[in-house]
Amino acid sequence: MKITSTRNPKHLPYIQNLCAKALVETADALSSDLKQSQTMPFDTGNLQDRSTSVDDSKKNRGKVSIVSDTPYARRLYFHPEYKFKRDKNSNAGGMWFQPYIDGKKKNFAKMTFAKLLKGKLK
């Protein structure tokens, strides 16, 4: 069996635009899932709700970031040994992105992106 395909270069910008949109929506979904999993430290809600956002300024180059712009976010993230309050977020602790990197949610971004892009291509 031989399969031949051709690409139409005039459609490439359209597809790249769809990929950029799906990438931003994937980051939004990951950020929402992170909040729902209640793993970020939560005292006043500043870190989780107001200071963490999706930076999509490089979306056309295939990069988005979830950024926390508080001065203490880095310290809390990299020190899971701190004693975190768990009255508001029951799973609060450091390294809150770790499940998405190599834990049980490591395929979350990949699967979400594929699902969103497939929905856009229909």
Q: Is residue 7 part of a domain?
A: no
Maximal C-alpha separation, the chain: 62
> Residue 2 has which token pair?
């031989």
Q: Residue 52 pairs with which residues in a beta bridge?
A: 68
**Residue 57 within a domain:** yes
| 8 Å CB contact between 65 and 54 | yes
Report yes or no on whether pTM surpasses 0.85: yes
Span 44-78, pLDDT tens digits: 889 999 999 999 999 999 999 999 999 899 999 99
Average predicted confidence (pLDDT) for the chain: 93
Counting residues of the chain whose pLDDT is more than 70, the rounded percentage is: 100
How many domains is the chain built from? 1
Question: What is the identity of the amino acid at 12?
Answer: L
Helix extents (H) in the chain = 12-36, 73-77, 98-101, 108-121
Q: Angle CA(115)–CA(121)–CA(122) in degrees, nearest 5?
A: 95
Pair of tokens at residue 122: 């229909």
Q: Is residue 68 part of a domain?
A: yes
Number of H helices, E strands in the chain: 4, 2
Q: Report if residue 71 sits inside a domain.
A: yes
Q: Does 20 reside within a domain?
A: yes
Assigned domain for 100 exists? yes
Distance CA 62, CA 117 (A): 13
Does any domain span residue 6? Answer: no
The domain containing residue 48 runs over which residues?
A: 12-121
